[in-house]
């Protein structure tokens, strides 16, 4: 199969492929998604198969407007307020599902469905021309770093999917915030993203705590909750602290004869650049948004280098740094200091 690259002038052709049950990757402001029309169960099953994704991990459905009444069992007042405030944008909302609308495989056996309206005009036009919402999990091999460019998608899926809509590098670089509207304990964030808890609470009031709302043995309602994600082939060591911590870890791996990659802020690389066999800058330490945008590209870059271990810098868990650290912790095999 030839994987074709589509642009602004060929969106209609990509939409036709989706209507025919083919898989088309598309850009969003967060990461690239692996698209299939959400009414075709075989197409949705193919998304799971191509990614190697566990079948109990539900998919997010991407819509082109805020008129979602035909897809869900109800739109609460708070949900409408959140859509008015943050759609289009990096916020996924979990609703009770309207029966018989989406292909059964979309929701992985749940009675709920996750919806979002991406802030990317090419993709909104793709959905409109397809005529039905699209599933869109990250367009990468399951468990590996998510793609933030069309080239990343092509690396993973060349010859395996019908095409990719090339929208350039994504703006945010981390997957959307996922908010569950269906938990009896209250509204709860299942996955952090660029839209923070504080921003959400300004619209709907206090959110419930995930640990309080979680039920033992409950299947994941959203991507990124259960399985290790975002990891390159090499072990990633997350380092918290300053130079004294980095000196210890670098000395350890140097004494073992290991080739080292460093994924860190520009300030830290200024000190340790000569100690590494490969480096990737996350930008200035004072710009966590830039670090978030570059994280997956950095992990993918390291995957292509001849390094045996990747040392990654921890950031403060505030604002988008919460989402950044959520992804980096899931990518890491260990943390120093423990």
Regions in the chain scoring below 50 on pLDDT: none
176 carries a ligand binding annotation: yes
Task: Check residue 230 and give its pLDDT.
Answer: 82
The answer to the question of whether 146 is labelled as a binding residue is yes
pLDDT of residue 17: 98
142 annotated as belonging to a binding site for a ligand: no
Does 221 map to a domain? no
Q: Please tell me whether 116 is known to bind a ligand.
A: yes
Residues 204 and 243 in one domain: no
324-338 as b/e: b if 16+ CB within 10 A = bbbbbbebbeeebee
Residue 224 lies in a domain: no
Percent of the chain with pLDDT over 70: 94
315 annotated to bind ligand: no
How much is the pLDDT for 13?
A: 98
CATH code at position 62: 3.90.870.10
Tell me what pLDDT residue 57 has: 86
- The mean of the pLDDT values for the chain is 94
pLDDT at 74: 93
Q: What tens digit of pLDDT does each residue of 103-114 get?
A: 999 998 899 999
Whole-number Å distance between alpha carbons of 296 and 139: 12
Whichever domain contains 327, its CATH number is: 3.40.50.11030
Q: What does the alpha-carbon distance between residue 59 and residue 108 come to, in Å, rounded to a whole number?
A: 8
- Residue 55 confidence (pLDDT): 80
Query: Are 173 and 287 within one domain?
Result: no
What is the pLDDT, as a whole number, of residue 246?
Answer: 97
Q: Residues 52, 117: one domain? A: yes
Q: Which domain holds residue 170?
A: 4-213
Is 229 annotated in a binding site? The answer is no
pLDDT of amino acid 225: 57
The answer to whether 57 is annotated as binding is yes
| 3-state per-residue secondary structure call for the chain | CCCEEECHHHHHHHHHHHHCCCCEEECCCCCCEEEEECCCHHHHHHHHHHHCCCCCCCCEEECCCCCCCCCECCCCHHHHHHHHHHCCCCEEEEEEECCCCCCHHHHCCCCEEEEECCCCHHHHHHHHHHCCCEECCECCCCCCCCCCCHHHHHHHHCCCCCEEECCCCCCCCCCCEEEECCCCCCCEEEECCCCCHHHHHHHHCCCECHHHHCCCCCCCCCCCCCCCCCCCCCCEEEECCCHHHHHHHHHHHHHCCCCEEEEECHHHHHHHHHHCCEEEECCCCCCHHHHHHHHHHHHHHHHCCCCCEEEEECCCCCCCHHHHHHHHHHHCCEEECC
Tell whether pTM > 0.75. Answer: yes
Number of folded domains that form the chain: 2
Q: Are residues 182 and 304 in the same domain?
A: no
271 annotated as a binding-site residue: no
Q: Is 42 part of a structural domain of the chain?
A: yes
Domain assignment present for residue 277? The answer is yes
């Amino acid at each position: 199969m030839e994987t074709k690259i589509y642009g602004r002038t060929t969106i209609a052709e990509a939409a036709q492929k989706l209507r025919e049950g083919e898989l088309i990757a598309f850009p969003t402001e967060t990461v690239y998604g692996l698209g299939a029309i959400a009414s075709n169960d075989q197409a949705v099953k193919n998304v799971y198969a191509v990614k190697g994704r566990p079948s109990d991990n539900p998919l997010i459905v991407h819509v082109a407007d805020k008129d979602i009444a035909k897809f869900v069992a109800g739109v609460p007042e708070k949900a409408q307020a959140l859509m008015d405030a943050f759609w289009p944008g990096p916020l996924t909302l979990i609703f009770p599902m309207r029966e018989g609308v989406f292909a059964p495989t979309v929701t992985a056996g749940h009675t709920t469905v996750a919806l979002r309206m991406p802030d990317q005009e090419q993709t909104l036009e793709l959905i409109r021309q397809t005529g039905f919402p699209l599933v869109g999990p990250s367009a990468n091999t399951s468990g590996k770093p998510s793609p933030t460019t069309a080239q990343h998608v092509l690396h993973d899926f060349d010859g395996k999917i019908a095409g990719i809509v090339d929208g350039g590098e994504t703006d945010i670089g981390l997957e959307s915030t996922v908010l569950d509207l269906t938990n009896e304990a209250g509204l709860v964030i299942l996955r952090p993203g660029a839209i923070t808890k504080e921003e959400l609470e300004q619209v709907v009031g206090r959110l419930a705590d995930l640990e309080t709302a979680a039920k033992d043995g409950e299947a994941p309602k959203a991507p990124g909750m259960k399985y290790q994600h975002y990891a390159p082939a090499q072990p990633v060591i997350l380092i918290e602290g300053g130079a004294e911590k980095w000196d210890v870890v670098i000395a350890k791996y140097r004494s073992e004869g290991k080739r080292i990659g460093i994924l860190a802020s520009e300030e830290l690389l200024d000190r340790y650049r000569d100690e590494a066999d490969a480096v990737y800058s996350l930008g200035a330490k004072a710009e966590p948004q830039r670090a978030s945008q570059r994280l997956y590209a950095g992990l993918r870059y390291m995957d292509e280098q001849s390094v045996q271990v990747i040392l990654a810098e921890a950031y403060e868990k505030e604002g988008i740094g919460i989402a950044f650290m959520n992804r980096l912790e899931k990518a890491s095999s260990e943390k120093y200091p423990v």
